[in-house]
């Protein structure tokens, strides 16, 4: 009889022992390939060649698993990250890293960005952000308000970009081409400012747009910072 923990594959090759990290990585691979509907104990167990019941030794339920996936994404962004002596560079580098990770796993991001994980990676990210804001001169209450503004921007923009990535190819092309199609053809008589800006509306660069918006946020924070750094 096949052992419930599934230590050996049908081929006779030993399987790696289940661990929270192994399970989360399998979840992420399934979500990358098939979307949120694939996140079930049965599917993850099949992916790992293990009895689904074995997963419950590490995770209470599907929601617990999703929170672990969300924290894993944060951990990817934090991997190898070292804060700068400059609070602004710390925040800029951290948010750019997180945005890139979220876009590398768009189907998981759509679910992950609206959750509070309560786990180590999230706590480290919050601590890094609040430390940088403290270095800018903000007392705790103001640091938290600016932290929330920054993180809400990151999560909202990442979720929007990720949702766009999950659209079917035909829909994405239609939305992207609207700037060089319908908007480029808007008559100046009725929409003079759109017509004047049309050559620039056609150039969509999501990474550059994210960086620009982030710099606007950081400029505003710097202008309000007691330390004026």
Q: What is the pLDDT of residues 127-172, one digit of tens each?
A: 999 999 999 999 999 999 999 999 999 999 999 999 999 999 999 9
**Among 208, 207, 215, residue whose Cα is nearest residue 103:** 207
Check residues 7 and 194 and name the one with the higher pLDDT. 194
Q: Would you state the pLDDT for residue 15?
A: 57
Give per-residue pLDDT as tens, 80-129.
999 999 999 999 999 999 999 999 999 999 999 999 999 999 999 999 99
Domain ranges of the chain: 83-224
Position 5 pLDDT exceeds 60: no
Q: Would you state the pLDDT for residue 95?
A: 98
Q: For residue 200, give both structure tokens.
A: 């620039």
pLDDT band for 16, please (50, 70, 90 cuts). Answer: low
C-alpha dist (Å) from residue 10 to 14, 17, 22, 43: 9, 15, 19, 17
pLDDT band for 229, please (50, 70, 90 cuts). Answer: very low
Give per-residue pLDDT as tens, 25-37.
999 999 999 988 8
Pick one of 1.10.357.10, 3.30.70.270, 3.40.50.2300, 1.10.260.40 as the CATH number of 83-224. 1.10.357.10
pLDDT band for 2, please (50, 70, 90 cuts). Answer: very low
Give per-residue pLDDT as tens, 171-186.
999 998 888 899 999 9
Give per-residue pLDDT as tens, 49-73.
999 999 999 999 999 999 999 999 9
Widest pairwise Cα distance in the chain: 78
Position 8 pLDDT exceeds 70: no
Position 1 pLDDT exceeds 80: no
Position 14 pLDDT exceeds 50: yes
Q: Tell the residue number behind the tokens 């921007």, with chain if given.
A: 153
């Amino acid at each position: 009889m096949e052992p419930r923990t599934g230590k050996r594959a049908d081929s006779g090759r030993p399987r790696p022992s289940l661990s929270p990290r192994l399970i989360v990585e399998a979840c992420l691979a399934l979500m990358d390939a098939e979307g949120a509907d694939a996140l079930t104990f049965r599917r993850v167990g099949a992916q790992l060649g293990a009895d689904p019941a074995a997963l419950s030794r590490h995770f209470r339920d599907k929601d617990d698993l999703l929170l672990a996936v969300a924290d894993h994404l944060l951990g990817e962004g934090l991997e190898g990250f070292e804060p700068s002596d400059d609070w602004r560079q710390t925040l800029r580098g951290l948010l750019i890293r997180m945005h890139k990770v979220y876009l590398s796993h768009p189907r998981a991001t759509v679910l992950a960005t609206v959750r509070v994980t309560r786990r180590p990676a999230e706590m480290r990210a919050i601590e890094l952000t609040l430390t940088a804001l403290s270095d800018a001169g903000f007392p705790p209450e103001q640091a938290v308000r600016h932290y929330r503004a920054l993180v809400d921007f990151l999560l909202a923009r990442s979720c929007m970009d990720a949702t766009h990535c999950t659209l079917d190819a035909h829909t994405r092309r239609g939305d992207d081409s609207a700037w060089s199609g319908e908007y480029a053809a808007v008559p100046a008589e009725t929409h003079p400012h759109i017509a004047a800006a049309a050559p620039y509306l056609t150039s969509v660069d999501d990474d550059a747009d994210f960086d620009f918006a982030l710099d606007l946020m950081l400029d505003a924070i710097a202008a309000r910072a007691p330390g004026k750094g």
